[in-house]
């Protein structure tokens, strides 16, 4: 799943160059990016570039591992062999993505352990959608279809980014996500065309997930200088609003095709502008959830903390100190 290039507008950078950084090197760096080169772990890069990438990749990795929790609870309940096997493989993929992504972030100089610690203390964020509960089996289907679809929109854009290990990891991730999306769609089709009870389950799940999905791409972009430089450095590849439009354009017709409705009476495509019009989701709720006040924030972190604590003796027994991982898996 689930990257999100959301940039916290309160982030403070002291200019684009850190003290001691050479403007000539910056010019060379920017020329390489403009020419479509990939930046590799041992290449020179501005501290701001490194910092923003670590934050983005780390958030993405956390989102994969936390995202495995709401869906993971349905592995043990999946109805029938076919769904059980498929959901196990799907959630396993998500954990595998976390592994790839932590590794990509490690190539920038932050250890997996430090990243996990920052997740547990709340210093580092993960995608907001995973702070909502997957109430029924149908929620897991809607997540697999539409959240993964939203993630693909975001990740396809970011896979064209300038940092080599992240961009290659995203290529692999997108290939797997496209299977998840097919799995999720197939699952939703069975529910939407099934018994009245199944149809009701899936409609209710869609109603619950619509606002988190609209939140997924982040608030409308402010025209900040940070956004501009990060887009020039190909760290952020598209605006939040553009990605939201792409998603709506691809998936709202498919939702309607299944006879399902979207809980927004204003949602329609304006044929003149080619843009989708919709009710702005409540961005205050978004902020509240990011800041830890969503329905499942505490539970998600508590589960992660428990897993970390229970596994500590294992890691202590096997991990070699001072091991560095500078070679990217992708």
Partner 1 sequence: MEMTERHVMGLIELLYKMADDQLIIGHRNSEWTGLGPILEEDIAFSSMAQDKIGQSLALFELLHELGEQDPDTVAFTRNAEQFHCCQLVEAPIGEFNFSIVRQYLFDQAEALRFEMLMASVYEPLAMVSRKFRGEIKYHVMHGKTWIKQLAEGNEESHQRMQEALNEVWPLALGIFEEGDYEKEISEVNIFAGEAALKSRWMETVVPFLESCGLNIPQSDAVTGGRHGQHSPYLQPLLDEMCEVFRIDPNAEW
Beta bridge partners of 39: 163
Tokens 């869906």, located at residue = 71
Q: 163 pairs with which residues across the strands?
A: 39
Smallest CA-to-CA distance from 87 within 96, 78, 100, 97 is with 78
Only segment of 10-18, 212-220, 228-236, 311-319 that touches partner 1 (CB under 8 A):
311-319
Q: How far apart are CA 75 and CA 86, in angstroms?
A: 9
**How far is residue 123 from each of residues 58, 84, 158, 272, measured CA to CA in Å?**
11, 35, 23, 44
Structure tokens at 189: 């089709």
The footprint of partner 1 on residues 22-81 (CB under 8 A) is 65, 68-69, 72, 74-81
**Residue 146 binds partner 1 (CB under 8 A):** no
316 is an interface residue for partner 1 by CB under 8 A: yes
Shortest distance in whole angstroms from residue 300 CB to partner 1: 10
Pairwise CA distance, residues 20 & 74, whole Å: 52
Minimal distance in Å, beta carbon 277 to partner 1?
A: 36
Query: Count of CB atoms within 10 A of residue 286's CB?
Result: 20
Closest to partner 1 by CB, 75 or 248: 75
Q: In the window 287-306, what residues touch partner 1 (CB under 8 A)? A: 303, 306
Which CB, 195 or 265, lies closer to partner 1? 195
250 neighbors 149 (Cβ within 8 angstroms): yes
Applying CB under 8 A, which part among 170-178, 192-200, 234-242, 266-274 lies near partner 1?
Answer: 192-200
133 binds partner 1 (CB under 8 A): no
Q: Which residues bind partner 1 (CB under 8 A)?
A: 65, 68-69, 72, 74-81, 83-85, 88-89, 91-92, 95-96, 98-99, 102, 137, 190, 194-195, 197-198, 303, 306-307, 310-318
């Amino acid at each position: 799943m689930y990257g999100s290039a959301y940039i916290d507008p309160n982030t403070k950078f002291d200019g684009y160059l850190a003290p001691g950084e050479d403007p000539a090197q910056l010019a060379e760096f920017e020329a390489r990016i403009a020419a479509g080169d990939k930046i590799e772990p041992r290449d020179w890069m501005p501290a701001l570039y490194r910092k923003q990438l670590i934050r983005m990749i780390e958030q993405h990795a956390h989102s994969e591992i936390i995202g495995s929790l709401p869906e993971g609870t349905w592995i043990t309940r999946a109805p029938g062999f076919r769904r059980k096997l498929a959901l196990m493989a799907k959630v396993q993929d998500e954990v595998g993505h976390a592994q790839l992504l932590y590794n990509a972030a490690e190539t920038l100089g932050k250890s997996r352990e430090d990243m996990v610690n920052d997740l547990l203390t709340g210093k580092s964020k993960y995608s907001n959608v995973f702070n909502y509960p997957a109430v029924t089996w149908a929620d897991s289907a809607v997540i697999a279809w539409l959240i993964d679809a939203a993630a693909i929109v975001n990740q396809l854009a970011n896979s064209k980014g300038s940092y080599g290990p992240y961009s290659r990891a995203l290529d692999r991730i997108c290939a797997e996500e496209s299977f998840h999306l097919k799995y999720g769609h197939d699952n939703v089709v069975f529910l939407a065309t099934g018994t009245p009870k199944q149809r009701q389950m899936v409609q209710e799940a869609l109603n619950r997930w619509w606002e988190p999905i609209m939140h997924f791409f982040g608030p409308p972009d402010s025209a900040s200088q940070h956004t501009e430089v990060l887009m020039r450095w190909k760290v952020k590849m598209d605006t939040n609003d553009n990605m939201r439009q792409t998603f709506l354009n691809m998936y709202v017709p498919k939702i309607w095709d299944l006879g399902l409705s979207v809980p927004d009476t204003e949602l329609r495509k304006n044929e003149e502008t080619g843009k989708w019009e919709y009710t702005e989701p409540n961005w205050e709720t978004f902020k509240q959830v990011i800041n830890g006040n969503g329905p499942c924030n505490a539970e998600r972190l508590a589960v992660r903390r428990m897993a970390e604590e229970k596994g500590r003796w294992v890691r202590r027994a096997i991990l070699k100190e001072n091991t560095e991982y500078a070679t990217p898996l992708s």
